[in-house]
Amino acid sequence: MNSQPSFDSEFKARLRELLIWRRDVRRFQSQPLPAGTLEHLVETASLAPSVGLSEPWRFVAVDDPARRAAIRQNFELCNAEALAMQTPDRSARYASLKLAGLAEAPCHLAVFADRATNQGRGLGRRTMPEMVEYSAVTAVHTIWLTARAEGIGMGWVSILDPSRVAEILDVPASWKFIGYFCLGYPEAEGDTPDLERSGWERRRREPLELIRR
């Protein structure tokens, strides 16, 4: 049996720093990522926890210009609909937000959860089948932290129609869309969320109250 690793106080402090500096990036440099970067990130993501050891995450690297253009078109349509739903006092500020880096980011990655996977033999999914999707999200977070540690920015584009994305990328019907991600070197670094800097929302200054029962 391998010996248990020891994580000292310096490592713990650095880990907290990594969590603080993990940002949802929207502005990217055009510089491409080194060859094999996405493969490395996906390999690391496979270390994430999953219900019943099902490993239901599925990754699609979107390289084809036509598919990327279709994704951008869908984003623009969905974003226009979201803008129309804003209240008058919010619409101008919403319109000024940069909500995606689809045009600039050198790498596009779509993540799905395979709800039909037999791996794991259904363990832990009878009463909560959505655990498959939750497991895929843990893989996303693992990629996010790994990318940040290597100086790579990552942005989650959620203003998309899931069914249209699945159609554009031609994936199996059993794959549920989790998220579409832009990756690349960020234009600027910062430890404050863009939405806070823009005045859209503020992060909580006090920890959320822990409820005990």
Q: Give pTM, 2 decimals.
A: 0.91
pLDDT digits (tens, 9 = 90+) for 158-173: 999 999 999 999 999 9
Q: Which residue shows structure tokens 């999707």?
A: 133
Contact 203, 22 (CB under 8 A): no
Beta carbons within 8 Å of 6's beta carbon, 6+ residues apart: none
Mean pLDDT of the chain: 92
Tell whether 8 is covered by a domain.
Answer: no
Contact 198, 96 (CB under 8 A): yes
Contact 115, 56 (CB under 8 A): yes
- What pLDDT sits at residue 207? 80
Cα–Cα distance measured from residue 74 to residue 177, given in angstroms and rounded to the nearest whole number: 14
- Number of domains the chain is built from: 1
Q: Which residue shows structure tokens 């006090």?
A: 206
- What pLDDT sits at residue 1? 64
Higher pLDDT, 61 or 203: 61
Beta carbons within 8 Å of 10's beta carbon, 6+ residues apart: none
Higher pLDDT, 187 or 98: 187
Tell whether 111 is covered by a domain.
Answer: yes
Cα–Cα distance measured from residue 119 to residue 133, given in angstroms and rounded to the nearest whole number: 14
pLDDT digits (tens, 9 = 90+) for 121-163: 999 999 999 999 999 999 999 999 999 999 999 999 999 999 9
Cα–Cα distance measured from residue 105 to residue 154, given in angstroms and rounded to the nearest whole number: 9
Contact 182, 155 (CB under 8 A): yes
What CATH number does residue 137 fall under?
Answer: 3.40.109.10
> What is the extent of the structural domain holding 61?
23-187
The type of residue at 90 is R
Please choose, from the candidates 129, 109, 158, the residue with its C-alpha nearest in 3D space to the C-alpha of residue 56: 129
Cα–Cα distance measured from residue 58 to residue 108, given in angstroms and rounded to the nearest whole number: 14
Tell whether 73 is covered by a domain.
Answer: yes
pLDDT digits (tens, 9 = 90+) for 165-203: 999 999 999 999 999 999 999 988 877 777 777 776 787
**Which of the four pLDDT bands, split at 50, 70 and 90, describes residue 99?**
confident
Tell whether 32 is covered by a domain.
Answer: yes
The type of residue at 201 is E
